């Protein structure tokens, strides 16, 4: 039998194919044909009639047919010529499956006479099938950790063709990791295996695609290729890796909670859970730090949760751990550097390190009162402190050798009496962007030094005392004030007792050294002493003590305590009685006599008025009220009596007036004898009067001089007064009666009348033109 036809010309050549007729030894099969599978429908299998030797002519009479039950016979027998045709496509693999030889037996019947022939048709195999893999694609999942040498069985390809047309070999596309191994499994079954040659790395290549080709033994060979997808399964073999080498950031202090500080990021080359990263603080990170910061385990964001204080710590190094979620997690740590930026959030602090709360007022400028230190916890400019004290105090700050230490010293002299306490406010201000400042006030007390003398409220004191004061009673009191305090202001008063002149006066004065009350130990008599002065010293109790003195000018005021004294007439036994003899022939207006009296008091108290209290004949004698002259009013007549008695009342003008009486008896005598008597009398009288005039001139002169000096002294004393206290001296010469030179002294509403200057001993004043009253200094002798 020949089969040399080319595969693709198969269909056309089948007709010409010479069937190899072999006589079968077996009785049942007389004829044996062989055909290739897949010949065309209508192809001739063989000429059975000819091969059986049946004459073609006989076939006309005899019916030749195939018997069989098959409804769709593979073959058809032409009953006219006995040629067997293929009636439909013969597929060996369909008919015989995988048996090595495929023989179809058919039974033919030739009738008249009946002959049965068995025909065996061998269907010859052709390579009409490619190898077929059971799956289009093969997926293999291999852990990357799988060691080299591991074997993975692959599904073998099947080829319906038999024999040499079945799969003969497998080929694997080129790759680094796998090689192919084919194992014979009896008959012609070949089992392909993938052998891992080199360890896989999912991270390098997660999927490998290999091509496996199965090739059969046909010529030309047919092949089939399948893709083998090798999925490399992840194994947690990679640690997380931080994306940056260094994580560092700057964070402002006092950042609000929730502020994002920095985000760390780590990646893991593994996949799935093996690459899912959880961020945590490293084991070494202490609890305190974990309160300040929080890390989001999922995102790696580090946020502020606590109070960030530059002053507490200015730099943080936090270890962050990134671990994956693999079954055996892998972890990496990285340090995150957080630098804290300072904000001006601390006000300067002022601390008083030493402080003397009281300093003496006589401290020199530059005396240290307190030491202060200032501190600002911020750094840089925010912590640079400028310090000063308020302007209005006599203190200043001087820097000390040590940093941020200052001493508060006095700037000028202090005066406790001016200000005894200072509130010194120290202001400290930093140099930050928004400067903060703080202040502190210290109270400095200026302690007293005895630098003030006592001061009297008025100087000099002028005191008016009415004479006849009660002895032992308080006259008045002096008072001094001392600006110092405590003992330095505790004043004791003393009367200055030295010098002859003062000693006598001051001996009857006493002073209460505490209160300054001045007592007069005796009663003053104006007529004896009209004025005096003394000095009071006020001494404080400081050490050393200071003192000052004041002059007290005392003016004694007159009281009407002296009754008029009749000087003339005075009888030998001392009573105011006298006898005057006048001639009967005197005319009217004849001066009979003059009553003389004096009053030791002054002013109205000493101003005497005369009046007739008793007279025998009112028509005869007249009395001058002011001068005390008694004159005749008319000539005497014969009827007039020879003796007349006149009682003259002398009265002063005091508020409660005092008086005295004088009695003058006038005897009227005959002219002759009276004349002689009158001559003698008038001669002596003139002599007497001349003498009086001479003394008066001397006295008047000296008194005027003294008076002038006194006036000047008084004016000087008044001018030396610094107060508004004004007083006027009115010099007034009163010619009325006995009112002599007087000084009216007005002080405020009060009006005093003084009789002038201190009288010199024994002096006599006869003021007034009439000189009818003598104010004698005879009593004004210091006792």
For binding to ligand NAG (CB under 6 A), which residues are involved? 243, 265, 267, 346, 377, 496, 535, 537, 549, 571, 573, 575, 655
Write down the residue that tokens 């008016």 correspond to.
464
Q: Which is nearer to ligand NAG, 67 or 204 (CB)?
A: 204
CB of 610 to ligand NAG, least distance (A): 22
Q: Which is nearer to ligand NAG, 166 or 559 (CB)?
A: 559
CB of 340 to ligand NAG, least distance (A): 15
CB of 228 to ligand NAG, least distance (A): 32
* Helix residue spans in 654-758 (DSSP H): 671-720
CB 409 within 8 A of CB 396: yes
The bridge status of strand 474-477 relative to strand 517-520 is antiparallel
Q: Which is nearer to ligand NAG, 22 or 259 (CB)?
A: 259
Q: Which is nearer to ligand NAG, 239 or 776 (CB)?
A: 239
Q: Which is nearer to ligand NAG, 655 or 722 (CB)?
A: 655
Q: Which is nearer to ligand NAG, 256 or 573 (CB)?
A: 573
Q: Which is nearer to ligand NAG, 570 or 696 (CB)?
A: 570
CB of 137 to ligand NAG, least distance (A): 32
3-state secondary structure of 535: strand
Number of C-beta neighbours around residue 25 at 10 A = 8
CB of 506 to ligand NAG, least distance (A): 11
Q: Which is nearer to ligand NAG, 627 or 663 (CB)?
A: 663
The bridge status of strand 547-557 relative to strand 461-466 is parallel
CB 356 within 8 A of CB 407: no
**Is the CA virtual torsion 25, 30, 33, 37 positive or negative?**
negative
CB of 602 to ligand NAG, least distance (A): 14
CB 265 within 8 A of CB 245: no
Q: Which is nearer to ligand NAG, 80 or 351 (CB)?
A: 351
CB of 472 to ligand NAG, least distance (A): 25
CB of 674 to ligand NAG, least distance (A): 21
Q: What whole-number distance in Å separates Cα of residue 550 and Cα of residue 534?
A: 8
Q: Which is nearer to ligand NAG, 93 or 253 (CB)?
A: 253
**Residue 181 forms beta bridges with which residues?**
193
**Residue 474 forms beta bridges with which residues?**
519
Q: What whole-number distance in Å separates Cα of residue 755 and Cα of residue 482?
A: 38
DSSP classification of residue 5: -
CB of 720 to ligand NAG, least distance (A): 12
Q: What whole-number distance in Å separates Cα of residue 483 and Cα of residue 452?
A: 6
Q: Which is nearer to ligand NAG, 79 or 313 (CB)?
A: 313
In terms of Cβ atoms closer than 10 Å to its own Cβ (0-12, 13-18, 19+), residue 568 is: middle
CA-wise closest residue to 136 among 157, 108, 163: 157
CB of 596 to ligand NAG, least distance (A): 19
Task: Compute, in degrees rounded to 10, the torsion defined by CA atoms 150, 156, 162, 165.
Answer: -80
Give me 612's structure tokens.
């007739």
Q: Which is nearer to ligand NAG, 158 or 313 (CB)?
A: 313
Q: Kindly state the greatest CA–CA separation across the chain.
A: 266
Query: For every residue of 225-276, which 3-state class applies, written as one string?
Result: EEEEEEEEECCCCCCCEECCCCEEEEEECCCCCCCEEEECCEECCCCHHHHC
- Report the Cα–Cα distance between both ends of the chain, in Å, rounded: 204
CB of 710 to ligand NAG, least distance (A): 23
DSSP classification of residue 201: -
Q: Which is nearer to ligand NAG, 233 or 260 (CB)?
A: 260
Q: Which is nearer to ligand NAG, 4 or 573 (CB)?
A: 573
Q: In what order do the strands lie in the sheet with 103-110?
A: 22-23, 31-36, 115-124, 103-110, 64-67
CB 774 within 8 A of CB 766: yes
DSSP classification of residue 601: S
Q: What whole-number distance in Å separates Cα of residue 277 and Cα of residue 269?
A: 11
Q: Which is nearer to ligand NAG, 108 or 548 (CB)?
A: 548
In terms of Cβ atoms closer than 10 Å to its own Cβ (0-12, 13-18, 19+), residue 529 is: middle
CB 595 within 8 A of CB 580: no
CB of 170 to ligand NAG, least distance (A): 43
Write down the residue that tokens 């009749």 correspond to.
566
Q: What is the CA radius of gyration of the chain?
A: 84
Q: Which is nearer to ligand NAG, 346 or 742 (CB)?
A: 346
CB of 763 to ligand NAG, least distance (A): 28
Q: Which is nearer to ligand NAG, 371 or 537 (CB)?
A: 537
CB of 345 to ligand NAG, least distance (A): 9
CA-wise closest residue to 452 among 537, 535, 539: 539
CB of 600 to ligand NAG, least distance (A): 18
Q: Which is nearer to ligand NAG, 446 or 550 (CB)?
A: 550
CB of 551 to ligand NAG, least distance (A): 8
Q: What whole-number distance in Å separates Cα of residue 599 and Cα of residue 563?
A: 6
CB of 655 to ligand NAG, least distance (A): 3
CB of 511 to ligand NAG, least distance (A): 14
Write down the residue that tokens 């959880």 correspond to.
278
CB 548 within 8 A of CB 453: yes
CB 601 within 8 A of CB 527: yes
The bridge status of strand 247-252 relative to strand 331-341 is parallel
φ, ψ dihedrals at 631, nearest 5°: -125, 155
Q: What whole-number distance in Å separates Cα of residue 629 and Cα of residue 143?
A: 172
- If you write DSSP's letter for every residue of 716-728 in order, what string do you get? HHHHH--SS--EE
């Amino acid at each position: 039998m020949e089969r040399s036809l080319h595969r693709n010309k198969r269909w056309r050549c089948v007709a010409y194919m010479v069937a190899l007729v072999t006589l079968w030894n077996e009785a049942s099969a007389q004829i044996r044909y062989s055909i290739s599978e897949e010949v065309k429908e209508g192809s001739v299998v063989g000429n059975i009639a000819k091969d059986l030797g049946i004459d073609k002519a006989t076939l006309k009479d005899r019916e030749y047919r195939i018997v069989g039950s098959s409804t769709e016979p593979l073959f058809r027998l032409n009953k006219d010529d006995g040629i067997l045709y293929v009636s439909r496509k013969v597929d060996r693999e369909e008919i015989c499956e995988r048996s090595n030889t495929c023989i179809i037996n058919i039974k033919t019947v030739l009738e008249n006479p009946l002959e049965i022939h068995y025909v065996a048709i061998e269907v010859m195999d052709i390579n009409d099938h490619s190898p077929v893999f059971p799956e289009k694609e093969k997926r293999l999942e291999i852990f990357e950790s799988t060691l080299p040498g591991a074997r993975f069985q692959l599904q073998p390809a099947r080829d319906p063709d038999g024999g040499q047309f079945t799969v003969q070999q497998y080929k694997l596309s080129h790759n680094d990791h796998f090689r192919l191994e084919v194992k014979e499994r009896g008959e012609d079954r070949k089992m392909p295996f993938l052998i891992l040659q080199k360890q896989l790395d999912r991270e390098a290549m997660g999927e490998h695609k290999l091509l496996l080709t199965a090739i059969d033994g046909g010529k030309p060979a047919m092949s089939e290729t399948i893709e083998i997808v090798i999925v490399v399964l992840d194994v947690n073999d990679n640690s997380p890796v931080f994306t940056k080498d260094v994580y560092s950031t700057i964070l402002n202090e006092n950042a609000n909670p929730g502020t994002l500080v920095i985000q760390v990021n780590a990646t893991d080359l593994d996949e799935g859970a093996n690459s899912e990263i959880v961020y945590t603080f490293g084991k070494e990170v202490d609890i305190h730090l974990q309160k300040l910061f929080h890390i989001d385990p999922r995102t790696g964001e580090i946020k502020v949760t606590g109070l960030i204080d530059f002053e507490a710590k200015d730099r943080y190094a936090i270890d962050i751990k990134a671990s994956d979620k693999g079954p055996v997690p892998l972890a990496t740590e990285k340090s995150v550097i957080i630098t804290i930026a300072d904000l001006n959030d601390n006000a300067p602090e002022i601390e008083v390190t030493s402080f003397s709360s009281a300093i003496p007022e006589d401290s020199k400028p530059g005396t240290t009162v307190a030491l202060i230190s200032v501190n600002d916890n911020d750094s840089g400019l925010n912590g640079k402190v400028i310090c000063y004290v308020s302007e209005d105090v006599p203190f200043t700050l001087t820097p000390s050798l040590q940093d941020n230490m200052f001493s508060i010293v006095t700037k000028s002299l202090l005066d406790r009496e001016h200000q005894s306490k200072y509130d010194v406010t120290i202001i400290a201000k930093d140099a930050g962007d928004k400067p903060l400042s703080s202040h502190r006030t210290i109270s400095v007390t200026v302690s007293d030094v005895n630098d003030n003398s006592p001061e009297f409220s008025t100087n000099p004191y002028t005191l008016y005392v009415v004479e006849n004061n009660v002895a032992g009673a308080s006259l008045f009191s002096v008072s001094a004030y001392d600006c110092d305090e405590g003992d330095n202001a505790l004043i004791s008063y003393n009367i200055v007792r030295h010098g002859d002149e003062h000693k006598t006066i001051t001996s009857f004065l006493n002073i209460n050294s505490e209160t300054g009350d001045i007592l007069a130990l005796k009663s003053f008599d104006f007529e004896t002493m009209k004025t005096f002065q003394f000095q009071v010293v006020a001494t404080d109790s400081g050490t050393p003590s200071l003192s000052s003195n004041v002059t007290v000018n005392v003016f004694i005021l007159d009281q009407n305590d002296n009754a008029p004294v009749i000087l003339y007439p005075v009888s030998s036994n001392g009573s105011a009685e006298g006898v005057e003899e006048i001639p009967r022939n005197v005319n009217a207006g004849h001066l009979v006599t003059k009553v003389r009296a004096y009053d030791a008091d002054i002013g109205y108290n000493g101003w005497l008025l005369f009046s007739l209290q008793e007279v025998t004949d009112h028509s005869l004698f007249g009395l001058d009220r002011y001068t005390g002259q008694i004159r005749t009013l008319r000539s005497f007549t014969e009827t007039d009596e020879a003796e007349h008695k006149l009682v003259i009342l002398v009265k002063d003008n005091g508020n409660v007036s005092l008086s005295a009486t004088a009695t003058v008896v006038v005897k009227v005598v005959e002219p002759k004898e009276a004349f002689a008597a009158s001559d003698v009398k008038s001669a002596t009288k003139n002599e007497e009067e001349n003498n009086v005039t001479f003394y008066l001139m001397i006295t008047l002169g000296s008194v005027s001089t003294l008076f002038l000096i006194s006036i000047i002294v008084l004016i000087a004393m008044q001018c030396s007064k610094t107060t508004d206290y004004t007083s006027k001296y009115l010099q007034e010469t009163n010619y009325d009666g006995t009112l002599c030179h007087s000084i009216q002294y007005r002080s405020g509403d009060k009006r005093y009348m003084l009789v002038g200057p201190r009288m010199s001993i024994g002096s006599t004043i006869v003021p007034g033109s009439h000189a009818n009253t003598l104010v004698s200094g005879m009593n004004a002798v210091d006792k």
